[in-house]
Structure 1
Amino acid sequence: MEPARKVYLQPTPVRIWHWLNAFGIVTLIVTGAQIRFPEYIQLFSGYKSAILLHNTAGLVVAVSFSLWFFYYGVVARNMLKIYVPSKDDLRFGIGRQAKFYLLTYFLGWPNPHHPTPENKFNPMQKSAYLAIMFVLMPLIALTGILLTNVSPLRELVILIGGLKILVAAHFLLACCLCAFLFTHVYLATLGRTPLAYIKPMWTGWEEEEPDRHSHPAA
């Protein structure tokens, strides 16, 4: 049997960003849960410690976001190509990929998407990452900054509706991020092996997935 061919999909800056971002987001979720429900969750030494760690994790995520934006926008200059779905992706690709995740994967059919360095995300990934990176994350960051209640921003907080509105918005946005995170981790296990899609985020190299059955990638 010939060894599986490998393709280099994840450059070093992307892998560094990914794990910084993952560490920061998990820390934000855990500390945010304690801040939101201090009477039920006491994972850290106190409420103030949770806030301090939460804010620090927010800075880590902001730095990692800047690294991601700089790499794709300035160094690689392929951000739009990587993250924006094409017309074909929107018309046919999302449905085809959803069918794979929900049905044909369990029948042993091959993944309809074959990643390349120029097109490494399937249509569902493109759509999800576009919404997460350009809508959800900026909104979470904005509401989080406003919740610090610093003097120059208080008029804006009042204009929006006050701290209660901001707390509710920040919490709902964080719940959306949690839902994405759980889905992301689950879908990452649907490769040829449970770690097939996770290893490339450590090594940069992904093995090309052979057709598991002779069925077409419908």
Structure 2
Amino acid sequence: MANEKLYLYPLWIRIWHWLNAALFIILLLTGISMQYSNPENPFLISFELSVQLHNICGIALSINYLLFIFGNLFTSNGKQYKMKTKGLFKRLYDQSVFYLFGMFKKQDPPFPISLENKFNPLQRFIYSTAMYIGFPIIIASGMAMLFPEIIIPQLFGVSGLLVTALLHAIIGFVLSLFLFIHIYVCTIGNSIISNFRSMITGWH
């Protein structure tokens, strides 16, 4: 199985993945720029350009997310995000132990990649949480700030706009952590670039 060549990533997944990554990185950089700069004192990117790019890329990311949803609804890729609750914590524990210790001892992974399971249990849990909880929240909160007239004026006695902005920033921070962890995990394949090559060619 270790030497078997598997076609895991169809063209639509690769297009969606790289577009999603590019848009998210631009949103991260422009979001940081808006957070830590003002019109007179730009941080990374000028404030005005950051706002424009953030809005455009936010809309593009939302449309791209629909590609992900429809793709998972109408192709077999959707089953990769379904989790069986029975024995879940045991599977998460086993995979975590492998990442922390086993792979450094050259042990075989407890859940080898296959056509039926291209994600190990920990990946499936994290990816499903990010894509089906994190992304909807950050998209919805971003759209609400783009059209602030739809935000509830008061929420539990606090400004609805403030709550929305905080939620957007917090989820953005959490997803940015996911991005960096995702990139690191991608480097621990057969070689540092093998997983990146797979997302270009489709073959694992």
Considering the TM-score relative to the shorter chain, is it more than 0.5?
Answer: yes
C-alpha displacement at 1:204, in angstroms? 0.4
AA aligned to 1:158 is: Q
CA deviation after TM superposition for structure 1 residue 113, in Å: 1.9
Q: Which residue of 2 aligns with 1:42?
A: 43
Partner of 1:57: 57
User: How do 1:198-217 and structure 2 match up within 5 A?
Assistant: 198-206=196-204
Conserved 8 A contact 2:55-2:146 = no
Distance 1:114 1:33 in 2: 38
Give 5+ residue unaligned stretches, structure 1.
Answer: 207-218
Could you tell me how far apart the structure 1 residues matched to 2:123 and 2:107 are?
19
Per the TM alignment, residue 60 of structure 1 is displaced from its structure 2 partner at its CA by 2.0
Question: Secondary structure of 2:6's match?
Answer: strand
Q: Which residue of 2 aligns with 1:136?
A: 134
- Corresponding position of 1:171: 169
Q: CA separation in 1, counterparts of 2:188 and 2:170?
A: 28
Q: Which structure is higher in RCO with an 8 Å CA cutoff and minimum separation 6?
A: 1
Q: Show the counterpart of 1:19.
A: 18
**Aligned to 2:196, what secondary structure does the other structure show?**
coil
Over the matched positions of the two proteins, sequence identity in percent amounts to 30
Report SS of the residue matched to 2:19: helix
- Rate the CA distance shift 1:150–1:189 in 2: closer, same or farther, 3 A: same
Q: How far apart are the structure 1 equivalents of 2:87 and 2:12?
A: 27
How do 1:32-181 residues align onto structure 2 when only pairs under 5 Å count?
Answer: 32-39=31-38, 42-44=43-45, 46-74=46-74, 76-79=75-78, 81-88=79-86, 90-151=88-149, 153-154=150-151, 156-159=152-155, 161-181=159-179
Q: Distance in 2 between matches of 1:182 and 1:63?
A: 23
> Is residue 2:193 matched to residue 1:192?
no
Gaps of 5+ in 2: none
Structure 2 Cα separation of the partners of residues 87 and 159 of structure 1: 34
Residue 89 of structure 1 contacts residue 123 of structure 1 at CA under 8 Å; is this kept in 2?
A: no
Q: Would you say the 8 A contact 1:82–1:126 is kept in 2?
A: yes
C-alpha separation in 2, matches of 1:88 and 1:198: 32
Question: 2: distance between equivalents of 1:96 and 1:129?
Answer: 18
**TM-score after normalising by structure 2:** 0.90
Distance, in Å, in 1 between the alignment partners of 2:107 and 2:84 is 24
Give me the whole-angstrom Cα distance separating, in 2, the residues matched to 1:4 and 1:118. 17
Number of aligned residues: 199
Partners of 1:89 and 1:100 in 2: CA distance: 17
- Which whole-Å CA distance do the structure 2 matches of 1:13 and 1:87 have between them? 29
